[in-house]
Amino acid sequence: MLYEVELKFRLSDSQQLMAALTALEAVAGTPVEQIDRYFNHPARDFRVTDEAFRIRSVGSSNCLTYKGPVVDKVTKMRREIEIAIADGPDIAEQTAEMLTALGFRSVHSVHKSRTPWVLNWNGQRYDLAMDVVPAVGTFLEIELVVDESGREQARDALLSLAEQLNLTQPERRSYLELVLASCSQ
């Protein structure tokens, strides 16, 4: 069983953070546009259970992702299952139609521009993402994927890297929660 262990921070100065990442020899990847379509379960409310289910489209690539409830009070640590599905916008649309036919309810879509980064630091490989979410802001996500036995060590490693980068106030809300909050204002 794999767990995603993540910290997310709102950025007021992304240029300063990119300079800090470059100083640590982090390598930026090619920016991509992502569309995440979220669905709610027909028999339970994912807002209450703190779960998530989505179709993610990156270019023509699509995948289904389930994220279990958060199991840590400091980081967003939770079980994650991701399954690639066929490519193409028609496949994403057909999958959404199928989920709706099965009783899932479409909640909202989150669009973001993501620049992935890879950082090898203190013997650990970190996946980072600089995300620009319209109407919500710019964020840095720091993530490790580990098995159950590595959860505490991953949490401590993320906190150590965040301290190194002078990131002190994690944002625990998901992008979906932030987007929905911005829509209601």
Give the domain CATH number at 115: 2.40.320.10
Between vectors from CA 70 to CA 67 and to CA 73, what angle results, nearest 5°?
Answer: 155
Give the residue-averaged pLDDT of 35-39: 98
In the block, tokens 């982090």 appear at 26
Ramachandran angles phi, psi of 13, nearest 5°:
-140, 90
In 3D, which of 133, 165, 150, 139 has the Cα closest to residue 5? Answer: 150
CA distance 61 to 40: 22
Residue 11 neighbours by CB distance under 10 Å: 17
Rounded percentage of the chain residues whose pLDDT exceeds 70: 100
Q: Is pLDDT of 185 > 80?
A: no
Phi-psi region of 149 (alpha: psi -120 to 50; beta: other; left: phi over 0): alpha
For the record, the structure tokens of 155 come out as: 């949490």
Task: With beta carbons less than 8 A apart as the criterion, state whether 28 and 117 touch.
Answer: yes
**pLDDT (tens digit, 9 = 90+) per residue, 93-131?**
999 999 999 999 999 999 999 999 999 999 999 999 999
Report if pTM > 0.85: yes
Total domains in the chain come to: 1
**DSSP helix/strand/coil, 11:** coil
Q: Is pLDDT of 133 > 90?
A: yes
**Which residues fall within 8 angstroms of residue 127, CB to CB, at 6 or more apart?**
116, 117, 118, 142, 143, 144, 145
Instruction: State which residues form the domain around 137.
Output: 2-183
Q: Is pLDDT of 176 > 80?
A: yes
